[in-house]
Amino acid sequence: MRRNHSQPIRQPPFYTVLSLTTCVALGACNGPAVTTLEALRDDGKLIVLTRNAPTTFYEGPEGPAGIEFDMLNGFADSLGVELEMVVHDDFNQMLPMLTNEKAHIAAAALTITDARKKIIRFSPSYQEIHQQIVYRLGTVPPKDVADLVGRQLEVVRGGSHAERLTALKDNHPDLEWTEIDDQSTEELLQSVSEGLLELTVADSNIVAITRQYYPELRVALTLGKSQQLAWAFPLSDDNSLYNRATLYLTKLKKSGELARLIERYYGASDRFNYINLAVYQARIEKRLPNYQSFFERAGRKYEVDWRLLAAIGYQESYWDPQAVSPTGVRGVMMLTQPTAKQLGVLNRVDPGQSIDGGSRYIRILIDKMPSSVKEPDRTWMALAAYNVGINHVADARIITRRLGRNPNRWNDVKQSLPLLSRRTWYKKTRHGYARGIEPVRFVTRIRTYYDVLVKIDSEIDFADEVEDFDLRAPAI
């Protein structure tokens, strides 16, 4: 039975000592001449070096996710082997590990550069990106490369961004920057968003994803020509695995599946638009009456305030039963296909089924919270789990305790969740990287929508009570 290794492997045994089967699979042992492809099929395992990041591989609410993971999972399926994703947080060591044949492939949103082609072999490109200078809204953006001189600019050490800046220095000798060892590009972007760093360089695909969670980020300019992303292989005369990967990526492009994956992970999304309460109140009047009875029925059935369920539905779909996100979730409560199947929802775009399924799901998550977590913190943490997955919430609670705060209080846990996107923290957790700011904003917006609904509903109840009292009052 095939299985996927979704758990990040921090210090796998083959980092230091190769087992006999792995040694054979990687073609690193003496013995009968077999190709890399034949050996890995005999071993039944495709070993891939990667990193935790939204553009590569991470654990989502439904399990392992990321565009690199999805592509590689399909490739492993085509070979009839299982996929083992090995997470390595030190980018500078990843390529040397590959050249030493510690893995079959490195897949970490790698850009093809002349310097890298001297030590590794790249597959055909699967995506085109640009390097961009990023700044924070409200600060002065650089107008051109010369305008970078004298600015606070930081990039990740050993990456293609430092290579590009080094090339630009030939024409701009006063250009200076700092190379950082212990932070990822995503973390540097977060620092720019928080006003802790003036400028950084990031690939356009990373900027596209990160801006969903940090809308203050802005692109000032693009550096040079576009670059290509590809998988990396050890330099070798054995072309067996490389040729199969080339064939697979070619088919992925021609079938349109690659375009679908790119749209899924990088497509435009309005999930993180700023709250527009005027629009929300208008939709309460025009849209909510069409679905209020479903929310009320589900609220009674699962013992959850129907107004909270309605707030979840609005955050997820704006109460649109036909809503579909780039990632394939759909319906009023934006259920994924696996979750819908688990909950017995046959038609996700049927508002009654979607609302019942989503309501049952939040009830399950509330009940799964530890008994030490009391209300209302219990509900807020369950909402965070609805968005990012219960395992990442558990990791955040552990971090909260390590920081000397209360893991049973939402106000403390919500300060820890964003740390799951910082390498210094997520590498210490069981479930690895997560876009931790997303569930915090998710819960905050639902609470806002809920508070508005409670206020409006209370005003309606008071008006009805006054009207009933007036009807009973004696004539004067």
Q: What is the identity of the amino acid at 343?
A: L
* DSSP strand pairing (178-180 vs 153-156): parallel
Helical spans, DSSP H, in 106-232: 114-117, 160-168, 185-193, 204-210
| Lookup: tokens for 56 | 């590569």
Can you tell me the distance from the alpha carbon of 395 to that of 6, in angstroms, rounded to the nearest whole number? 16
DSSP classification of residue 15: G
State the DSSP string of 89-133. Answer: S-HHHHHHHHHTTSSSEEEEEEEP-HHHHTTEEEPPP-EEEEEEE
Say if CB 316 and CB 357 are below 8 A apart: no
| Lookup: tokens for 281 | 């109140």
Q: Is 61 helix (H, G, I), strand (E, B) or coil?
A: coil
| Lookup: tokens for 376 | 């209302």
| Lookup: tokens for 455 | 């206020």
| Lookup: tokens for 27 | 């073609």
Q: What is the identity of the amino acid at 211?
A: R
Say if CB 314 and CB 453 are below 8 A apart: no
- Count CB atoms within 10 A of the CB of residue 349: 14
Place of tokens 């943490």: 381
* DSSP strand pairing (127-136 vs 217-234): antiparallel
Q: Catalytic annotation on 316?
A: yes
- Count CB atoms within 10 A of the CB of residue 43: 19
Say if CB 222 and CB 201 are below 8 A apart: no
Task: List CB contacts of 19: < 8 A, sequence separation 6 or more.
Answer: 13
Can you tell me the distance from the alpha carbon of 76 to that of 248, in angstroms, rounded to the nearest whole number? 10
Helix axes 36-43, 67-79, angle to 10 degrees: 90
* DSSP strand pairing (105-111 vs 153-156): unpaired
Can you tell me the distance from the alpha carbon of 347 to that of 181, in angstroms, rounded to the nearest whole number? 48
Q: How far is CA 274 from CA 317, 418, 444, 446, in A?
A: 15, 19, 12, 13
Q: Which of 316, 375, 465, 467 is catalytic?
A: 316
Radius of gyration of the chain (CA): 25
Say if CB 345 and CB 356 are below 8 A apart: yes
- Catalytically active residues, by annotation: 316
